[in-house]
Amino acid sequence: MSVQLTILGSGSSGNCAYVETPEARILVDAGFSPLQIRKRLATIGRTPENLSAILVTHEHADHIAGIPGLAEKLRVPVFCNRGTQDGTIWALKTKWDSKKKPAFAGADGTEHLKSKIDWRLFETGASFEIGDIGIDTFSIPHDAQDPVGFVLRTPAGVIGFATDLGHVTKLVLERIRGTNVLVLESNHDVKMLQDCPRRSWALKQRILGRHGHISNPTAAETVAQIMSAELKHLYLAHLSRECNKPELAEHVMAEQLHHIGAHHVRLQVADQDVPCATLTL
């Protein structure tokens, strides 16, 4: 049974991954415009009309931007917890209000988003199925209402998603240990972040905080702690465009993999602008 994973894009300006199995076609986050998601799916010969579901990790704009155009117009079900639903509705309504779209002003806008989108709510920590994919959810520490990571148990292997986390908890380690494919945040180089003239002190503190984003060394330490013979593919995701470099993130992780003798792991850095090559499991 063929299972395919394509990271359509990952970074501070948008995050979206596509997973296809014999019985399901899902997005993990939809952080680009509907048009951009359509274009990126087209590069692998797919269209959003055939999506089975969208899984949402949390309500920040770089994870939900495409939801109205996909979930409302195409009636693609959105799976998230109630905190993420509330945060998503608030974020989208605020965006529309700022653009002076009267149809979405006030309580009517909130009710519109609640009624026009097919929300499928789960409790954080719960497991459920979409077609032949078993989905486990787990809490992650980030400055959102109730952010989660996902472990997708497919017919051909286990895929883990752990991005947007300020520190790596024991629960996160427990959940992503044993995955065959791991999409892990490697957001910033600490010195580049500290020296960045375009970031305020407050923003730097947020990113470095326990509910912000993890650095290249922290990502490397995380992989060392969960390494097993089962992990075959590792994607570094959510790189900061201003405070990281793909070659730097790759170098830090490659050194760690070499140090722990994990020569069986294929390492890739996800790009903000271009989809990764499709992985077939």
Angle at 162 between CA 230 and CA 20, to 5 degrees: 70
- Please report where in the chains the tokens 């920040």 appear, as a residue: 60
What gap in Å lies between CA 190 and CA 170, rounded to an integer? 23
Angle between helices 106-116 and 82-98 (to 10 degrees): 130
Judge whether residue 157 has pLDDT over 80. Answer: yes
CA distance 227 to 261: 10
Measured distance CA(151)–CA(218) in Å, rounded: 20
Nearest-Å Rg of the Cα atoms of the chain is 18
Cβ(164)–Cβ(147) under 8 Å?
A: yes
In tens, the pLDDT along 158-180 reads 999 999 999 999 999 999 999 99
Alpha helices in 165-266 (DSSP H): 170-176, 190-195, 201-208, 216-226, 246-259
Local confidence band at 140 (pLDDT 50, 70, 90 cut-offs): very high
**pLDDT per residue over 222-269, tens digit each?**
999 999 999 999 999 999 999 999 999 999 999 999 999 999 999 999
SS3 184: strand
Q: Whose structure tokens read 């959102």?
A: 144
Gap between the Cα atoms of 12 and 65, Å rounded: 12
Dist. CA 85–CA 78, nearest whole Å: 9
Percentage with pLDDT > 70 across the chain: 95
User: Is the pLDDT at 93 greater than 90, yes or no?
Assistant: no
Instruction: Record the pTM.
Output: 0.94
Percent of the chain having pLDDT more than 90? 89
Q: pLDDT tens digits for 181-191?
A: 999 999 999 99
Q: Is the pLDDT of residue 104 over 60?
A: no
At residue 97 the predicted structure's pLDDT band, cuts being 50, 70 and 90, is low
Domain CATH code at residue 152: 3.60.15.10
Cα 21 from chain centroid?
A: 19
What's the structural domain count of the chain?
1
Instruction: Report the C-alpha dihedral over residues 263, 248, 243, 218, rounded to 10 degrees.
Output: 40
pLDDT in tens, 17-53: 999 999 999 999 999 999 999 999 999 999 999 999 9
Domain that holds residue 39: 4-280
Taking the mean position of all CA atoms in its chain, how far away is CA 219? 15
